[in-house]
Structure 1
């Protein structure tokens, strides 16, 4: 009886449990730099970008890129390349022999500093491609810190499991010393050379907590932009501003190949809206170095849908990328392990890129991540093939209509979500939608309108 009374007294004295906090929380804690608001990425393969293949030669092209309107120059790895197990005569830039040096084939440290300084003078930012998961087999770290590397059961260095990357040795991120060295190396280029962030190669092959620690250390120097070559929402919480939108590329290539219509792209955007934080920037592209080198030339992959794919990458939710040579209609797969300079000319898509960059910059609805507006679909009479949507509040909307099929259509609109007065963003022609209008779109045709007040 005494025990029962004592237990009852304890129960009465126990403090009430705190009411859970049901307030929605933004799962993205990364503070995006203001200059990422309307950013467009431009990937530069320094080896192939000019006839000389150097920073000094590439620097002369920076005014052209600034005039084009791009914001962030992403340089493929600039570090010395390993010789052991080298692929081709020049090797892969992703086989890093020294994380704190410049590849002499590209130029000197002074020339790289000059490149970054000129980019900054022109209002451009510069990010480096960073290979944290593995190094060259002859990186001195294999001798000075052999414990930092993954080993075969027999104790030998090994390439990343499940890959054919025979020219690189896998790091072991259970080693605190490796984490410190790699973080300090990342900080080195920001502090000493003024670069503005990184594109992280195969970011998902490296523990997320490493990236979170590295991001915090980088932010102590200055605001940076971080892009992960991976498609995982957790990377946005405390490490990366942007991740790859591989699903966008896969949806576009699927519907081009199958001719099935807008379904795959509608599914991609629905999935992004439902499962990814609004603040998460997703990089979308029609071409990059991997696709160009191993899959094919973008103009050939997308065929007659190429122009529509480019346009959608700019006006749909996403951080758009231009790969060097796209504006010159590069028509071949560039060599990856050899010198193979781009043949520069005024391409037929150059003006389209300039207009789309200007459009994205001018209209807040099209800005990146938390800065931009969500997509609101506008149903049409041919929704199986046509994907139409608005972005932004009434009075400042962007209204886009994409025929994502090899079939021409005359279509009408079923709702009033887009009603208003507009101008065609690419031609300047006026347009008005108040109900009952029809629109003719050829196969793979599209229209982009901006609202007028």
Structure 2
């Protein structure tokens, strides 16, 4: 072999080894690859359409005795059993120590995982396990503020300041453990978008739930979402915690349905059942096509600071009935880890806690049946509502093409004889959860919080 051939072979071998990735890492396929990052794993192609999403929120500090990512991985069978196709992880970053209340929303380092939760390999394992089951994973993103000991604090112009040049906490809040970011600073904005992209590439996550989205300018969200969408190897989910209508125009897919949450509480406190339909209609007025409001009977804030569904809706039966109304009326349903087993005490997230996953097997079975049916029913997710007005009973039909389901829920803690709408009289149905035949006459006797989900 002559010198030129040897040289050529060495060059080829050098090129192969220098470009070789580990078995766990492949080059991203998009043309806009960020030069400093390498795409970990295989980009997930199963991100659900917006109106097919079933969200499951995980508070890591309460979800398992270990309080970490491994605890989530170990309960992936449970999460899947609820028909879930998107996991929302609450913040997993290191928590700031200055003025600290130990809130996970006080981020010390946007590109790190707090040791209490594990490490990058644990997050990669979690996304791989979820993706193998057809489940997307989104991270909680805290864009409005950082901890006081985040290294960004050295760039004082990146933060909002008072007239004396002092960095301040977010105006109008009592959040003394965090420093408010200045979105007039382009360098900070670029660093924020870069940090979001880091997790897309390095952990193969599928989007973000964006904390306190109302506190961030529209143009930043628009820029960030557009930039992330240039990573063209998969689809992403963007979920805003906010009330602003312009979030959808900025590119968000989902927004919190606070109006519907307030309505369901009012109804179970004795107000007219019609409120749930009014809130649903008001929410969707002016909402762009294929954008959705998230419906819930609890989340991490409500279960920590308000009350859990067991207390809000008067026990297991009431909590389940409230979920039926919330899930089927319209929007994207959210399950908060623990509600499906009837946790009654408040669930903190500034500290670690545990609850008994085996406490309410019957309630868990009901939630599993409920969401498995919903996940497989196009009419449940996309059907148009025909509302049967009644102040004590939530009742409506959903229609999609030739498919129909009827939902009837007693929202009172008393027996009620419900006079059925004329079009439902003397009709035959199948109970969607028990598979038993149900023959309707002119009246239906309902026990406290009893419900029916009927299919043809």
TM-score if structure 2 supplies the norm length? 0.84
Q: Distance in 2 between matches of 1:317 and 1:278?
A: 14
**How far apart are residue 335 of structure 1 and its match?**
2.8
CA distance in 1, matches of 2:417, 2:284: 29
Could you tell me how far 1:438 is from its partner in structure 2?
A: 1.3
Q: How many residues align?
A: 406
1:169 has 2:201 as partner = no
**Paired residue for 2:151?**
140
Cα distance, 1:331 vs structure 2 = 2.2
**C-alpha contact 2:86 2:137 (8 A) present in aligned 1:** yes
323, 327, 347: which is aligned to 1:334? 347
Matched, 1:411 2:418: yes
- Single out whichever of 154-163 and 386-395 deviates more from structure 2: 386-395
Aligned match of 1:345: 358
The aligned runs of 1:286-365 (5 Å cut-off) are 286-304=297-315, 305-347=318-360, 348-365=362-379
1:349-389 residue CA offsets vs partner (Å, 9 max, x unmatched): 2111111111111211222xxxx12322134xxx1222211
Q: 1:139 to 1:418 in 2, by over 3 A?
A: farther
Indicate which of 159, 175, 194 corresponds to 1:184: 194
For residues 202-243 of structure 1, the C-alpha deviation after alignment (integer angstroms, 9 at most, x for no partner) is: 111101221112111222223101111112332112411110
1:399/1:418 contact within 8 Å kept:
no
3-state SS of the aligned residue for 2:52? Answer: coil
Native 8 Å contact 1:314 1:356 kept in 2: no
Q: How does 1:353-432 map to 2 (within 5 A)?
A: 353-367=367-381, 372-379=382-389, 383-393=390-400, 395-416=402-423, 421-432=428-439
Aligned to 1:25: none
Cα distance in 1 for partners of 2:403, 2:213 equals 37
Residue 150 (structure 1) aligned to one of 145, 157, 160: 160
- Given that residues 38 and 366 in structure 1 are in contact (C-alpha distance below 8 angstroms), is that contact kept between their aligned partners in structure 2? no
**Which residue of 83, 95, 113 corresponds with 1:69?**
83
1:403 shift after superposition: 2.5
Match status 1:250 vs 2:262? yes
State yes or no: 1:219 paired with 2:224.
no
Residue in structure 2 matched with residue 40 of structure 1 by the alignment: 54
The SS at the match of 2:406 is strand
Structure 1 residues 159, 391: closer, same or farther in 2, change over 3 A? same
**What TM-score comes out, normalization by structure 1 length?**
0.85
Number of the residue aligned with 2:251: 239
Rounded to whole Å, the distance in 2 between the matches of 1:52 and 1:279 is 38
Equivalents in 2 of 1:303, 1:108: separation in Å? 40
2:278 match: 267
> Which 10-residue stretch deviates more, 314-323 or 339-348?
339-348
Q: In structure 2, which of residues 118, 141, 152 is the aligned counterpart of residue 107 of structure 1?
A: 118
The offset of 1:36, in angstroms, is 4.0
Two-structure CA RMSD over aligned residues (Å): 2.0
Q: CA deviation at 1:271?
A: 1.6
Q: Deviation at 1:77? A: 0.4
Aligned equivalents of 2:68, 2:425: Cα separation in 1: 49
Could you say which residue in structure 2 is the equivalent of 1:18?
A: none
Q: Structure 1 pair 420/185, CA: closer, same or farther in 2 (3 Å)?
A: farther
State whether structure 2 residue 217 is matched by structure 1 residue 207.
yes
In structure 1, the gaps of 5 or more residues are: 1-31
Partner of 1:120: 131
240-249 or 219-228, which deviates more = 219-228
Q: By how many angstroms is 1:275 displaced?
A: 4.2
CA deviation string 1:240-293 (max 9, x = no partner): 111000111101112222x12313223212323444345321111111110111
Matches of 2:255 and 2:425, distance apart in 1: 30
2:48 and 2:85 in contact (8 A); partners too: no
More displaced, 441-450 or 242-251? 441-450
Q: Which moved more, 1:395-404 or 1:123-132?
A: 395-404
Deviation of 1:147 (Å)? 0.4
SS of 2:409's equivalent? strand
For 2:250 and 2:423, the matched residues in 1 are separated by 40
* Partner Cα distance (1:67, 1:342) in 2: 19
